[in-house]
Chain A
Amino acid sequence: MEQINPTRMELIRKNAQIKLAEQGRDLLRQKMDALIQEFFHIMESVSQSRDELERRADVAQHSLLIALAVDDPVTLKSASFATRRGVTLEIKGKNIMGVPVPIIEKKRFVKGLLERGYSILGVSGRIDEAAENFEAELDLIISLAETETSLRRIGSEIQMTRRRVNALEQVLIPELKRQAKYIEITIDEREREDLYRLKKVKKIIERKKKTQSPQL
């Protein structure tokens, strides 16, 4: 407090700062509300996709188990040689209220009967079903990767915005207000002192005038 100049210019500056901080706080609140809305919207689809993924993973594991049991793991591994290849995905980005979130290319991994690279005559439908279920699971995992990353980024942005709002609301604005109040009090005090001094001077002058005038 001691470092603040209790001047009218300083008071004007402090009031401007308070206004700006309040404006900033309101804007950040609006941003947070929009982000929360977006967060819940994405969360709904994420929880649906997660349930779907769990269901799909169970089905895929079961079909794999049956294929391993009936067709022999070596037949399955042999078929996997035919289908083994890398997965390339294009990832772009977009902004949600200033938060960069990824957009992963929607590629369909569920392949047709002839696209898996092996002859349908030598591979059983059980292996096909297992492959198809895992391909469908991969589709879900990739779409979930996009939404979950968005969710995580929006979540951390909400946290950061909330911290900023709190800092403005709990620390900066009260501090600025306190400083403005101090300046106001100091200026008032000074004005009162000035007024008292002036009155005192006036009284002294008047008293002097009175003592001089009878002599005249």
Chain B
Amino acid sequence: MEYAYVNARIRAMKSRLLGRPFLEQLINKPDVDSIIADLERTTYREELERAGVQFSGINRIEVAIRNDLVRAFRAILGFIKGGEEENLLTLILQRWDVQNIKTILRGKKIHAPASEILDCLIPAGELGEAALTELVKQPDVKAIIDLLATWGVPYARPLTRNFKEYSETRDMLVLEYAIDTFYFEHALSILKSRDTEDNRIIREMLVTEIDINNLRTVFRVIRDRMDREEAKKFFMKGSSELDTETLYSMVKTGTLEGALKLLEPTSYRFLSAIPQEYVTAEKISAFEKELDRHLVRKGISQFLGDPLSIAIPIGYIWAKYAEVTNIRIIARCKQSGVPDKELREALINV
């Protein structure tokens, strides 16, 4: 595949991303309608017009930015179609497949109407809208897993392995945990097979995500005073900086302060800057916000990497994700009358 061509197109797409001044302009708008008016002057115009047929207000914005995100990711996949790079990028986008499969399984378990389940799907991954609709049409959890297996979707494997336990306990946690861990294990095992620069970039991003997921688990386990031994099984392997033992030691401290102290020698020492009041109140969302910002910043910083590598598409994916999240935060906060100061704090500042 010609990286020079693909990355030039992606850089062109990046140039159309909304910068900080535009977000500031949106923050200064008095209501959702004026935010829509401003967004209609950007690349979101087409999706806003399409969403405007069915939705209005905040829903119109949310549907439009969600569809725009899906369209952008599909466009990138279209640029690199056919090569090894497509498989690598698909690994990143498969997180949406995991999320969609989990949503369908959850919906089927409670017999939610198909239309309600379909409304909650984001076809940004490998499974397109048609495939997801077909999955939603299945009568039950077993049929969904069978269909995934028939299509050769790798996520059918952990689901099939754990279905027996699920059918005995009727606990969706069994299947969800299996598919969540499989996503990272499967991706890392594929990346291990070849030692290229592209593989290294994707692996680095995935390992960061594993670390962040593990840290979130540690903080939540400490806050909920969960059984330490039980917590161990929720730690995902794959990171050398924060291995299972380190994570277990953090849990063993029993306090967030203790856990943060153990993070001092790692690259996650920035968490120590979280105000003490949040630490004392065990406000996990404050920790998550910092971790999310770290991940997004790391993703976007890939733009600074090798211009003839997968770093550019990866950087764009994260930049687009951050932009969409920031627009949603601004629109939601404006609709609910959240003060600007609080709104700015909620943003994924990049």
Is A63 in the interface zone, CB < 8 Å from B? yes
Say yes or no for A195: interface residue by CB 8 A criterion: no
What are 12 pairs between A and B in contact, CB < 8 Å? Answer: A65-B338, A66-B346, A72-B66, A72-B328, A74-B119, A74-B122, A82-B172, A114-B226, A117-B171, A122-B99, A122-B102, A126-B285
Please give the residue numbers on chain A whose beta carbons come within 8 Å of chain B beta carbons, in ascending order.
Answer: 63, 65-66, 68-70, 72-75, 77-79, 81-82, 84-85, 112-114, 117-122, 124-126, 128-129
Q: Are A118 and B176 in contact (CB under 8 A)?
A: yes
Given A68-B332, A114-B173, A125-B284, A73:B213 Cβ within 8 A: no
Measured between beta carbons, the chain A residues less than 8 angstroms from B216 are: 120, 124-125
Q: Is the CB of B332 within 8 A of A119?
A: no
Partner of A77, one of B120, B284, B292: B120
Which residue of B213, B288, B338 has the most chain A CB atoms within 10 A of its CB atom? B288
Q: List B313-350 residues whose CB lies under 8 Å from chain A.
A: 325, 328-329, 331-333, 336, 338, 346, 348
Query: In the assembled complex, which residues on chain B have CB atoms less than 8 Å from the CB atom of A112?
Result: 224, 226
Q: Chain A residues with Cβ under 8 A from B292's Cβ?
A: 70
Report Cα–Cα, A23/B205, bound state, in Å: 86
The answer to the question of B219 belonging to the interface, with a C-beta cut-off of 8 Å to chain A, is: yes
Q: B242 in the interface, Cβ–Cβ < 8 Å?
A: no
Among B24-32, B36-44, B105-113, B191-199, the one that faces the other chain is B105-113
Measured CA separation A54–B331 after assembly (Å): 25
Q: How many Å from the CB of B37 to the closest CB on chain A? A: 20
A112 to B292 CA separation, bound complex (whole angstroms): 24
Query: Would you call B103 and A81 a contact (CB within 8 A)?
Result: yes
Chain A residues within 8 Å of B62, by CB: 72-73
Query: How many positions in chain B have a CB within 8 Å of any CB in the partner chain?
Result: 50
Q: Which residue of A lies closest to B213 (CB)?
A: A121
Cβ–Cβ contact B173 & A121, under 8 A: no
- In the bound complex, what is the Cα–Cα distance between A68 and B325 (angstroms)? 10
**A129–B338 Cα gap in the complex (Å)?**
19
B234 CB within 8 Å of chain A: yes
Q: Digitize B81-101: 1 where CB-to-A-CB distance is under 8 Å, 0 elsewhere.
A: 000000000000000001100
CB-CB under 8 A for A117 and B121, given A65-B333, A122-B99, A124-B216: no
Contact between B176 and A63 (Cβ–Cβ < 8 Å)? no
Residue among B98, B120, B122, B220 with max Cβ neighbours from chain A (10 Å): B120
Give the contacting residue for A81; candidates B107, B329, B331, B338; CB below 8 A: B107
- Are A69 and B171 touching (Cβ within 8 A)? no
B248 within 8 A of A: no
Pick the most buried of B62, B171, B224, B348: most chain A CB atoms within 10 A of its CB.
B224
Q: Which residues of B contact A124 (CB under 8 A)?
A: 216, 285, 288
> Is the beta-carbon distance between B346 and A120 smaller than 8 angstroms?
no
Task: Enumerate chain A residues within 8 angstroms of B301, measured Cβ to Cβ.
Answer: none
B176 touching A122 by the CB < 8 A rule?
Answer: yes
Most B CB within 10 A of own CB, among A63, A121, A124, A128? A121
Assess whether B110 is in contact with A74, with CB atoms less than 8 Å apart.
no
Q: Is the CB of A125 within 8 A of B220?
A: yes
